[in-house]
Structure formats: structure tokens, C-alpha cells
């Protein structure tokens, strides 16, 4: 090793090179070469920003009764508010709520539930997967058997069941209040298996690599080895699954809410909005249905496409 000593301060040494390395990596290259990935990422960023900054962007606060007037009900898109003269870009619903605003706020709930559920699923899955692979024996058997049994059933069914049980345990007067959290719990618990399986598989491979054996010989404890050495190596597959899970979680949330076993009408998510919109489909107020549907479609499709691309980009072997 004949590295010439670098006399610059340490924070200046590492940063630029690492940034440049990231920029020049295949990852970024393949991103800039994939129009699908770029358009999807753009759509996702716009929608997420719209949801995050909903209170700033939305012309109305759909949950503030003072701003609503039933006289504004069923205003077609592009028509003005009878009182303020503002235009309802996407029309208004039966209660005079601005559809554009409810979509922004609904997306907040959809995305929050989606992210939180995936985070929960990821935490449970990664933890159990690591434990199963590292401890082995009957602990592993029990964890993986539970995973097998759960995998026999579609995730959406498991989520419905968990939601149903949780509703049964909750006293009726609190049900609407806790519904969002129950939803996160239900979707999160229904989706941990994928993470656990991948992490366990990857860990079993990494576990027998020389560097882990070396770390053991040096006398590191089990936890330190797991966290410092193995976890970084299983992050790529976890990232891919998390992205695809996010799309699935958002769809699951929308489905449950649409079916009336999810977000309550007082805190409508995109699914709840579509459920509401469906009721007015026959009477001709299509905008109450179509705009939330299109938003959900754009969100689910672009996250899915991004996940597809990510899988290919992070795993060159899968690229066919």
C-alpha cells in the first residue's frame, strides 16, 4: 500500500469522493437510462410532496366544518364556489367538500398508513429473519413454520382478519379513533413474511462467510456481528421488497378502506374516497369517483414500476 497521505481535513476527504462514487455508480447510470424509472420517480415525488404539504397546497381544509357549505354540494369540476368565487378544480362532493383537497388529505392518510405498515412489517420481518438464521434450532423452526402457515393465505385476507379481531377487542365507541392504527397493525402483520424469508436466506449465506467467522474469532458478541456485519449485506434485497411492499400496502389500505373495514369516513383515505364516490356514480357525479381513483392508480402504478426497476438495478443477475 503506497497511498500518499492526504492533508485535507477529514470531512473534506471522504465526502466528495463518496458522492462522486455514488453518482458514477451503475445505479444512478441505469436510473438516468430508464425513462420509466425517471417518470415513475417524478410522479411519486410529486404525489408525496402533495400529500406532505397538503395543508399548504389544498385550497380548503376538508375536515374543518366551518369551511364547508352543503349549498356547494355536487359542484362539477371547474365551477366556482357559490360563496367565495374560488374554482373547484376537481369539483365538490355531496357535502360541498373540495375533491382536490380531500384527495390531498386522503393521500396523506394512504401514504402514512402505507409507510408505517411497511416499516412495521420490515422491523418484524428483519428481526425475526435474523433471529431465525442466527439462532437456528427450534426458534428457527417455529418462526419459519408460522411464516409458512401465514403464507398459505393471501395477505389481504390476513389483514382483514386482524382488523376484524382488533375491532372485536376495541370497545365500539373507540373504533373510529383507533381505526388508522389498527389498519397499520393489520397490514404490517400481514406482510412481514417476505422480509423474514429473504433476510433469513441472505443471513444464512453471509453467516458462513470468512469475515463473520473472523469477527467471531476476534471475540465479537453475537449481536455485534449480526448488526455490524450481516445487516448491511441484506439491505439490498430488503430495500427492493420494501418498495414493492409499499405499493402493495397502499393498495391493501385502499382495498380495506373501500370495503368499509379500514379508514373511517371521518378520516377518509383514497380508498374511503372511492367508496364514497362509488355511491354517486349512478347519479352522474363522476368526478367524486374518477379523480381519487386516478390518483390511487398513479400512485400504485408508479411505485410498482419503481420497485421493478429497483429490483433489476440492484440485482444485475436478474436482468434478462
Partner 1 sequence: MLAFTIRRVGQSILVLLVTGFVAFSMFTYVGDPIDNMLGQERTQADIERLRDQLGLDQPFFVQYWNFLKEAAQGNFGLSYRQGRPVGEILVERLPATLELAFVSGLMALIGGIGLGIFTAIRKSGALSSSIMALSLIGVSLPTFLIGVLLIYIFAVELGWLPSFGRGQVVDLGFWTTGFLTVSGLKALILPAITLGLYQMTLIMRLVRTEMLEVLRTDYIRFARARGLRERAINFRHALKNTLVPVITVTGLQLGSIIAFAIITETVFQWPGVGLLFINAIQFVDIPVMAAYLMMISVMFVGINLIVDLLYFAIDPRLRVDRSAAKGH
Residues that bind partner 1 (CB under 8 A): 145-146, 148-149, 152-154, 156-157, 160-161, 163-165, 167-169, 247, 251, 254-255, 258-261, 271, 274, 278, 281-282, 286, 289-290, 293, 296-297, 300-301, 304-305
CB 73 within 8 A of CB 91: no
CB 254 within 8 A of CB 269: yes
The CB-of-293 to partner 1 minimum distance in angstroms stands at 6
202 versus 305: smaller Cβ distance to partner 1: 305
177 versus 278: smaller Cβ distance to partner 1: 278
The CB-of-2 to partner 1 minimum distance in angstroms stands at 49
226 versus 246: smaller Cβ distance to partner 1: 246
The CB-of-263 to partner 1 minimum distance in angstroms stands at 14
Over its C-alpha atoms, the chain yields an Rg (Å, rounded) of 24
Q: Residue 30 is inside which H or E element, if any?
A: helix 26-32
The CB-of-56 to partner 1 minimum distance in angstroms stands at 29
79 versus 255: smaller Cβ distance to partner 1: 255
69 versus 150: smaller Cβ distance to partner 1: 150
The CB-of-35 to partner 1 minimum distance in angstroms stands at 13
Judged by DSSP in three states, 117 sits in helix
Nearest to 89 by CA among 73, 100, 103: 100
22 versus 297: smaller Cβ distance to partner 1: 297
The CB-of-260 to partner 1 minimum distance in angstroms stands at 6
Nearest to 183 by CA among 126, 61, 276, 268: 268
Judged by DSSP in three states, 313 sits in helix
CA–CA separation, 55 vs 62, rounded Å? 10
CB 105 within 8 A of CB 125: no
For the stretch 27-50, what's the b/e string if a residue is b when 16 or more beta carbons lie within 10 angstroms of its beta carbon? eeebbeebeebeebbebbeebbeb
Amino acid at each position: 500500500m503506497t497511498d500518499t497521505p492526504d492533508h485535507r481535513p477529514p470531512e473534506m476527504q471522504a465526502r466528495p469522493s463518496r458522492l462522486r462514487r455514488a453518482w458514477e455508480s451503475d445505479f444512478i447510470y441505469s436510473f438516468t437510462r430508464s425513462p420509466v424509472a425517471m417518470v415513475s420517480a417524478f410522479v411519486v415525488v410529486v404525489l408525496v410532496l402533495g400529500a406532505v404539504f397538503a395543508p399548504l397546497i389544498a385550497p380548503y381544509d376538508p375536515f374543518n366544518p366551518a369551511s364547508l357549505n352543503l349549498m356547494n354540494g355536487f359542484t362539477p369540476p371547474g365551477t366556482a364556489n357559490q360563496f367565495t368565487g374560488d374554482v373547484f378544480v376537481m369539483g365538490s362532493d355531496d357535502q360541498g367538500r373540495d375533491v382536490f383537497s380531500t384527495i390531498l388529505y386522503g393521500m396523506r392518510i394512504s401514504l402514512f398508513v402505507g409507510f408505517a405498515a411497511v416499516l412495521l412489517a420490515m422491523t418484524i420481518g428483519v428481526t425475526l429473519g435474523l433471529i431465525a438464521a442466527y439462532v437456528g434450532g427450534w426458534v428457527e423452526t417455529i418462526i419459519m413454520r408460522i411464516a409458512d402457515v401465514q403464507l398459505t393465505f393471501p395477505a389481504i385476507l390476513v389483514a382483514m382478519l386482524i382488523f376484524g379481531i382488533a375491532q372485536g377487542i376495541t370497545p365500539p365507541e373507540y373504533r373510529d379513533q383507533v381505526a388508522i392504527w389498527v389498519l397499520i397493525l393489520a397490514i404490517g402483520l400481514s406482510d412481514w413474511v417476505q422480509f423474514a424469508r429473504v433476510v433469513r436466506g441472505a443471513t444464512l449465506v453471509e453467516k458462513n462467510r470468512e469475515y463473520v467467522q473472523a469477527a467471531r474469532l476476534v471475540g465479537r458478541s453475537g449481536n455485534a456481528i449480526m448488526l455490524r456485519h450481516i445487516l448491511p449485506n441484506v439491505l439490498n434485497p430488503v430495500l427492493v421488497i420494501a418498495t414493492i411492499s409499499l405499493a402493495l400496502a397502499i393498495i391493501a389500505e385502499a382495498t380495506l378502506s373501500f370495503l368499509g373495514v379500514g379508514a373511517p369516513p371521518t378520516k377518509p383515505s383514497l380508498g374511503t374516497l372511492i367508496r364514497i364516490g362509488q355511491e354517486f356514480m349512478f347519479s352522474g357525479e363522476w368526478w367524486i369517483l374518477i379523480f381519487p381513483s386516478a390518483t390511487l392508480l398513479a400512485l400504485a402504478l408508479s411505485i410498482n414500476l419503481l420497485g421493478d426497476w429497483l429490483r433489476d438495478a440492484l440485482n444485475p443477475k436478474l436482468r434478462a
